[in-house]
Structure 1
Amino acid sequence: MTQSTHLTHIPAPDGIAPATGYSHVVTATGRLVAVSGQIALDQYGNLVGPGDAAAQALQVFANLHRCLTAAGATFDDVIKLTFFVTDVAHLPAVRKARDQYVDVENPPASSAVQVAALFRPDLLLEVEALAVLRADA
C-alpha cells in the first residue's frame, strides 16, 4: 500500500494476484473530477493518426492532460482510467502512451474494454479518467 497526500494505492489486496501497470484499488479523499472519454482529435477537430493506434493514443493522453489541467488536476490525481479499444491489439500502444503520463510505481486503477466500434469508424480508442483533488485544492 502506498499513500500520497490524498490517495492510497493498494496494488494487490490479500487474495488478489498482483497486476502489471495498474493498481487494483485506489482510495481518495477530496473533490471528484470526471473527464469524459477523450479521442484522438486535435484542437480543430481533426483526427490525429488515422489507422495508427500509437499516434492516436499519444493524442488521447495529451487531450486528457489538457482536460485535467483545466480542472486543476494532474495525472497524479487520477484514480481510474477506462480504456475503450476497437482491438485489444492496440493496448500496448495505449500503455506506452499512458506510461508517459502516469506514475508507473503508483498507477491508477484501470479497466480495458474491447468494443465493436466507437462513434466514428476511424477512431481506434477512447480513454476516460476519474481524478480526485485534495479537498483544499
Structure 2
Amino acid sequence: MTELDEAAEPLVRQRLMPAGSWDWHIPTPFSQGWKVGDLVFVGGQLSADEHGNVIGRGDIELQTRNVFEAITRVLEEGGATWRDVVKLNTYYCCDEIGDAVQEFWEKMTRVRLEYLPTPGPVGTAIRVAGLMYNGFLIEADAIAVVGSGGAISRR
C-alpha cells in the first residue's frame, strides 16, 4: 500500500431519488441518480408522471421541458446546478422527414438552451427509433461536477 492509498478516503455514494420523480411500475433497483464524491450522475429522464405515464404526448417542447425539470431536481438533490453539468446526452424520437425534422429539432433545442449555461457542457444528441414506451419523444441524462460551475476556464 502506498502513502497515496493510505491517505485516500473512500468516496461517499448517495442515491438520488427526488420526491415526485417517476418510479418503475415493476420493482427494479434503478435510481434517478447517484452522487459519488463530487460527481453527480443523472440517469435517463423522461416526460413521465409518478407512475411512468407519458406527459405531453406528441409535444416535443413540453416533453423537453419536463425532462430538463426532472434533471434539475436530481441535480439539486445532489447539490449541483446546470452550471455544474459537464456532459449531456439527449436521445430523441422524430418520425418526421424533410423540413419537419428541422422544426422538431429547433423546438427541442430552444427549450434545452433555456437550461444550459454559456459555455455549455459537452453534448451528444442521438436520433433513435424509439424509447421505453410509445409516446416518449425525448430522454436525457447528465453528469455534473458539484461546485465546478463557478470555476470555468475559458481556454
Give the alignment's TM-score, normalised by structure 1.
0.70
Structure with higher helix content: 2
The answer to whether the aligner puts 1:124 opposite 2:137 as a matched pair is: yes
Deviations along 1:87-115, whole A, 9 cap, x unmatched?
28333222112111111x21111001011
Contact 2:80–2:147 (CA<8 Å) still a contact in 1?
no
Residues paired across the two proteins, number: 105
How far is 1:44 from its partner?
A: 4.7
RMSD over aligned CA atoms reads: 1.9
For residue 56 of structure 2, what is the aligned residue in structure 1?
A: 49
Question: 2:68 is matched with which residue?
Answer: 61
Q: Following the alignment from structure 1 to structure 2, what is the Cα–Cα distance between the partners of residues 35 and 63?
A: 9
CA distance in 2, matches of 1:96, 1:44: 28
Tell me how far apart the structure 2 counterparts of residues 106 and 83 of structure 1 sit (CA, whole Å).
Answer: 18
The residue correspondences of 1:6-25 to structure 2 (distance < 5 A) are none
Paired amino acid for 1:125: I
2:47 aligned residue: 40
Q: Distance in 2 between matches of 1:39 and 1:96?
A: 18
Identity, in percent, stands at 34
Deviation digits for residues 71-96 of structure 1, max 9, x if unmatched?
A: 11100100011110112833322211
Q: Which runs of 4+ in 1 moved over 3 A?
A: 43-46
Q: Is the 8 A contact 1:42 1:59 kept in 2?
A: no
Structure 2 length-normalised TM: 0.62
Give the Cα separation in 2 of the matches to 1:36 and 1:114: 18
Determine if contact 2:43/2:142 at 8 Å carries over to the other structure: yes
- Who wins on radius of gyration, i.e. which is larger? 2
The answer to whether structure 1 residue 102 and structure 2 residue 116 are counterparts is yes
Q: Structure 2: where are the runs of 5+ without partners?
A: 1-36, 149-155
Considering fraction of residues, name the structure with more strand: 1
- Which runs of 5 or more structure 1 residues have no equivalent in the other structure? 1-29
